Amino acid sequence: AIERTLSIIKPDATRRNLTGKINAKFEEAGLRIVAQKRIKLSPEQAGKFYEVHKERPFYGELVEFMASEPVVVQVLEGENAIAKNREVMGATNPAQADEGTIRKEFALSVGENSVHGSDAPETAKEEIAFFFSGLELVG
């Protein structure tokens, strides 16, 4: 089925001018960028977005990192977009990511891992609504 997923290009990647190279990976995989904006998250916004990880030991570090510099938030659309995006990103830890994936090529560490992608249809819906209004989504 045609799905939509929320993607974030993280501060380690925007800082190194990798937005275009990462977007090329998505487009080459058949994912269409149907909405996109570059924003700087406040620590409060980053904390709210990652609320599910609140009890994890890395939560503070994660929130600080995500609010440190601009991010690019985007909606990717395509056949099985959620799973396909996760394939293109590669494993969370770049040391375990397959060749050719975004995290293998660009990520610096498990924390500074260049991209985020929704993990399931429910979370995709919530995460898209967190950043975009219906008017901003142009299929």
Q: Which of 19, 110, 121, 125 binds ligand CMP (CB under 6 A)?
A: 110
| Angstrom distances, CA of residue 65 to CA of 40, 55, 111 | 11, 17, 8
> Is 116 noted as a catalytic residue in this protein?
yes
Instruction: Mark 47-70 as b/e (b = at least 16 C-beta within 10 Å).
Output: bebbeeeeeeeeeeebbebbbbeb
Say whether residue 123 binds ligand CMP (CB under 6 A).
no
Under rule CB under 6 A, residue 130 binds ligand CMP: no
Q: What is the dihedral of CA 129, 126, 75, 70, to 10 degrees?
A: 80
Which of 113, 127, 128, 132 contacts ligand CMP by CB under 6 A? 113
79 belongs to the binding site for ligand CMP (CB under 6 A):
no
Q: Judged by CB under 6 A, does residue 74 bind ligand CMP?
A: no
| By the rule CB under 6 A, 14 interacts with ligand CMP | no
Q: Which residues are catalytic?
A: 116
What is the contact surface with ligand CMP in residues (CB under 6 A)?
Answer: 53, 58, 61-62, 92, 110-111, 113, 116
